[in-house]
């Protein structure tokens, strides 16, 4: 009987130790294989990402970027301009799993609905008031007017938008957990593709006539 109790106590202790260790096992990142892997943008992409520059050729400026200092030109139909500091513009981000984008919005400007297939997005408003919203798979809209120094997070892959609802210009930073988050904008993907999406597909999808589809496509001809 005492032996059985001893075995039970051992099992309980082992489970307790395993549970105590589990958070560390689950939450910690894998140990990096090297200190850094600055992207060699001139090399052909092997699989995902870019190969590393030889360490001997890495310089201080590989870890620095001024890509998002200046405001973007918002004189377009949407009143928006996004300036990206992804790995393609900032080689030091390679393999680090992060990037950032500056978005400028004119009064009433809209960053049209889009998604990032490879990253979640954390929005930090620096100037103005921006309505940020995303839709879930249950056709539910989650949105909030975000003001200066406030945050809003958009889960990975979901359609979302940013609309300037203030009286002046607005600026926000979008931070991503990917060096190249990608972007898919449905309006462009449907109405500005080459070759074009079949007319029957567009007409049936949006429950409209072909002449109405032609009008919409003409408005995206310059994009």
User: How many angstroms separate the CA atoms of 126 and 128, rounded?
Assistant: 7
SS3 79: coil
Consult the annotation and say whether 73 binds a ligand: no
User: How many angstroms separate the CA atoms of 220 and 207, rounded?
Assistant: 19
Consult the annotation and say whether 160 binds a ligand: yes
Predicted local confidence at residue 24, as pLDDT: 44
The pLDDT tens digits of the residues spanning 31-68 come to 667 889 999 988 876 566 788 999 999 999 999 999 99
Instruction: Check pLDDT > 50 for residue 99.
Output: yes
The pLDDT tens digits of the residues spanning 134-189 come to 999 889 999 999 999 999 999 999 999 999 999 999 999 999 999 999 999 999 99
Consult the annotation and say whether 149 binds a ligand: no
Whole-prediction pTM value? 0.82
User: How many angstroms separate the CA atoms of 55 and 34, rounded?
Assistant: 10
Consult the annotation and say whether 164 binds a ligand: no
**What is the token pair recorded at 99?**
């990037």
Homologous superfamily, domain 55-181: Jelly Rolls (2.60.120.10)
Predicted local confidence at residue 46, as pLDDT: 58
Domain chopping of the chain, boundaries: 55-181, 188-219
Instruction: Please state whether 108 falls in left (phi above 0), alpha (psi between -120 and 50) or beta.
Output: left
Consult the annotation and say whether 121 binds a ligand: yes
**DSSP secondary structure letter of residue 184:** B
**What is the token pair recorded at 132?**
């940020």
Predicted local confidence at residue 44, as pLDDT: 73
């Amino acid at each position: 009987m005492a032996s059985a109790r001893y075995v039970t106590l051992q099992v309980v202790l082992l489970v307790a130790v395993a549970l105590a260790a589990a958070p560390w096992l689950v939450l910690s990142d894998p140990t990096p294989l090297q200190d850094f892997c600055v992207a060699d943008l001139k090399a052909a992409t092997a699989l995902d990402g870019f190969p590393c520059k030889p360490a001997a050729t890495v310089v201080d400026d590989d870890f620095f970027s001024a890509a998002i200092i200046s405001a973007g030109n918002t004189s377009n139909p949407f009143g928006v301009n996004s300036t990206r500091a992804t790995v393609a513009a900032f080689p030091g981000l390679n393999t680090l799993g992060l990037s950032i984008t500056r978005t400028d919005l004119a009064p009433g400007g809209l960053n049209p609905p889009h998604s990032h297939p490879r990253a979640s997005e954390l929005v930090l408003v620096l100037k103005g008031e921006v309505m940020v919203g995303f839709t879930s798979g249950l056709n539910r809209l989650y949105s909030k007017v975000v003001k200066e120094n406030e945050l809003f997070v958009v889960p990975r892959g979901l359609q979302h938008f940013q609309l300037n609802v203030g009286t002046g210009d607005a600026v926000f930073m979008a931070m991503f957990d990917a060096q190249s988050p990608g972007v898919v904008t449905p309006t462009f993907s449907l109405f500005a593709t080459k070759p074009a999406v079949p007319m029957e597909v567009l007409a049936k999808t949006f429950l409209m006539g072909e002449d109405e589809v032609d009008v919409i496509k003409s408005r995206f001809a310059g994009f």
